Structure 1
Amino acid sequence: MEVGFVGLGVMGMAIARRLQAGGVSLRVWNRTTGKCSPLQDGGALVCTTPAEVAAGAHLVFMCLLDDAATERVVFSQNGIAATASESTIVVDHSSIGPDATRELAARLAARSGAAWLDAPVSGGTPAAERGGLTVMVGGEPVAFERALPLMKHYARNVNLMGPTGSGQVTKLCNQILVANALASISEALRLAVDGGIEAARLPQALQGGWADSTLLQLFVPRMLEPPAQSLGASSTMLKDLDNVQAFAAARDVPVPLTAITAQLFRILEYQGRGQVEPSELFRVFDRA
């Protein structure tokens, strides 16, 4: 069975390479064709349009930047919808708004009968490369069961959370927890540095206590010593936090801590540093 993959950014490429390493035959497309080369070298067919990808694949995976990019790839003249059919399942690993997901899925179903699984991921590129991603999925159980064996090539924890849009709602909850934790860690680490203790030992000192977490252990070293390999752009986190606030506001749900944290990430964007990884949030607390 040939599988389609559209969107070969850092995360998309890591997922696609895991699929290919698992023996999955791929049809791929990316806006910048040159990014397809590593997969082409491994035997993937490089397509000229998303429509060509979908024409030869019953499952089409996407990993795109935002709502606009997703709509364009699916519904442009040469988009996935042009050749999708009732047997097509679109698995969208993009992190976009739940309401946008539901609208796009309904449009695709009305036009072609294709199923849509919203399946945003968590864990970062390193987790994808070792097959350890967490995937939170929304959609129909039948489509989920068909896609699950493929997702297991790159994910350790995959859960169907409910109907279409449920995966994106779960991802918003994830981002609330991650972003606010990073803000708290940044604040605590600044106090440690200026308070005169050996800040690098903070993860060791707190290990096993209530303040311990995966994020604490991972990000304190990255905050103190900028890493060689980025885990992703801060601008992506800001996009997700903006989606949190819009989705919450539409339902009269207060998210005050997230609103403050979003402004900290917006400072990085304002400073022209939106492409730095989220550990750079610590630098917002630097003295002038």
Structure 2
Amino acid sequence: MATALYLLNSYGDVDTAHRLLSGAIALQPEPYDPADAAVLEAARYKAGQAPVGTVLSQRGRDGEQGVDRDIVLTMVTASAALEAVTTGPGGVLTSPHTTPGVLIDTSTVSPQVSALIRNKAADHGTDFLAATVSGNPKVINAGKLTVAVSGSPEVFSRVEPLLAVLGRGVTYVGEGEAARLVKIAHNVFLGVVTQSLAEITVLAEKGGVSRAAFLEFLNDSVMGSAFTRYKSPALVNLDFTPTFTMPLLRKDLDLGLAAGRELQVPMPLAAATAQLVAGAIGAGHVEEDFASLILGQARSSGVTLEPQSVPVDDDLSFQN
């Protein structure tokens, strides 16, 4: 089973590639020759531009990179990027001679674009699964990624062992584009929870409780979660090295609000959060992690935050 993996944008780091590919390669029934592995390289994608890098696990049997592959995983950050790497020039669905047996996309994109790619894949005889994930590269490297998959249940059964190596949980959620809605709902919740966490942390700070002490208590309580724990270091020490940026969060909130309009589901909390994220982007918080929502909350609360420079456990120690 030859496997190729595209890693673009925020997922385009070599450590993440090694983590994903090591599991995929281990499933190959034939002996794996490291000399056949393509050189891993970080890849970046900018809106409106062609991808400038590709990460592939193995050369095809004719010696050309990425040819004659059975399974391809794509992991990009926007609908336009997914179209570019699949149906755009040089995309995996454009070869007149060879196309993947199965295309698995792990990106957060609209159900409409996902359906378009699914139809294009079917035209080429390629099975398509939407396999959206919960977790950034640090979560991937800790072995804690979770996956929601939709598409043909028969195809899912065939590739489930491959998906299982990506992290700690794989859930089949239905046919078609169901996984897209699951991930969109997940990321709406991500935004709303982060804003709520910023509000209560600033409330505690203004009332005289250190952020470190408040979050330690919260994380040990029934309200604590894996998410509140791994975001605590950023909120305490104001280190906003990006894992997920404001523009990406805004994109996902917009997708969620669009789904709400289509399905006639009111989403007032999501709408309010989207406005706050838009304000943060307008204030220049574009390259920082979305945890920097706490800065806007502090400004509007008359609070000046300072890094507390204390060790905070993020609960993401590496696990095999």
TM-score under structure 2 length normalisation:
0.77
Q: Distance in 2 between matches of 1:164 and 1:85?
A: 24
How far residue 108 of structure 1 moved from its aligned partner, in angstroms, is: 2.1
How far residue 116 of structure 1 moved from its aligned partner, in angstroms, is: 1.0
The alignment status of 1:184 with 2:204, answered yes or no, reads: no
- Aligned residue in 1 for 2:274: 262
Distance 1:160 1:246, change over 3 A: same
- After superposition, the C-alpha distances for 1:178-225 in whole angstroms (9 at most, x for unaligned) are 211111110001111111122211123334544323333232331121
Taking the TM superposition and a 5 Å limit, the aligned residue runs for 1:45-56 are 45=59, 53=66, 55-56=67-68
Distance 1:58 1:23, change over 3 A: closer
The alignment status of 1:99 with 2:112, answered yes or no, reads: yes
How far residue 72 of structure 1 moved from its aligned partner, in angstroms, is: 1.9
Q: Distance in 2 between matches of 1:65 and 1:107?
A: 20
Moved more, 199-208 or 171-180: 199-208
Query: Counterpart of 2:82 in 1: which secondary structure?
Result: helix
Q: 1:214 aligns with which of 210, 220, 226?
A: 226
Q: Distance in 1 between matches of 2:90 and 2:99?
A: 18
Taking the TM superposition and a 5 Å limit, the aligned residue runs for 1:84-233 are 88-109=101-122, 111-227=123-239, 229-233=241-245
- After superposition, the C-alpha distances for 1:208-266 in whole angstroms (9 at most, x for unaligned) are 54432333323233112123753222221111111111121122111110011111111
Are the counterparts in 1 of residues 93 and 99 from structure 2 also a CA contact under 8 Å?
no
Moved more, 250-259 or 24-33: 24-33
- After superposition, the C-alpha distances for 1:95-143 in whole angstroms (9 at most, x for unaligned) are 101222122212321x212111111111221121122201111111122
How far residue 85 of structure 1 moved from its aligned partner, in angstroms, is: 6.4
- Figure out how many residues of one structure are paired with residues of the other and give that number: 276
Are the counterparts in 2 of residues 11 and 128 from structure 1 also a CA contact under 8 Å?
no
Distance 1:56 1:226, change over 3 A: farther
Specify every segment of 5 or more residues in structure 1 that has no aligned partner in the other structure, as ranges. none
Are the counterparts in 2 of residues 181 and 215 from structure 1 also a CA contact under 8 Å?
no
Are the counterparts in 2 of residues 18 and 153 from structure 1 also a CA contact under 8 Å?
no
Are the counterparts in 2 of residues 6 and 62 from structure 1 also a CA contact under 8 Å?
yes
The alignment status of 1:239 with 2:240, answered yes or no, reads: no
Q: Distance in 1 between matches of 2:160 and 2:181?
A: 20
Moved more, 122-131 or 277-286: 122-131
Q: 1:273 aligns with which of 270, 278, 285?
A: 285
Distance 1:23 1:259, change over 3 A: closer
Q: Distance in 2 between matches of 1:23 and 1:220?
A: 32
Are the counterparts in 2 of residues 75 and 82 from structure 1 also a CA contact under 8 Å?
yes
Instruction: Give the letter for the 2:20 counterpart.
Output: L
Taking the TM superposition and a 5 Å limit, the aligned residue runs for 1:4-15 are 4-13=4-13, 14-15=15-16
Distance 1:132 1:205, change over 3 A: closer
- After superposition, the C-alpha distances for 1:12-38 in whole angstroms (9 at most, x for unaligned) are 5454312333361766795333x75xx
| Greater fraction of residues in helix | 1
Query: Counterpart of 2:253 in 1: which secondary structure?
Result: helix
TM-score under structure 1 length normalisation:
0.85
How far residue 78 of structure 1 moved from its aligned partner, in angstroms, is: 2.3
RMSD: 2.7
The alignment status of 1:58 with 2:63, answered yes or no, reads: no
Q: Distance in 1 between matches of 2:2 and 2:99?
A: 16
- Aligned residue in 1 for 2:315: none
Distance 1:269 1:209, change over 3 A: same
Q: 1:32 aligns with which of 52, 55, 79?
A: 52
Distance 1:271 1:228, change over 3 A: closer
Are the counterparts in 2 of residues 97 and 247 from structure 1 also a CA contact under 8 Å?
no
Instruction: Give the letter for the 2:188 counterpart.
Output: I
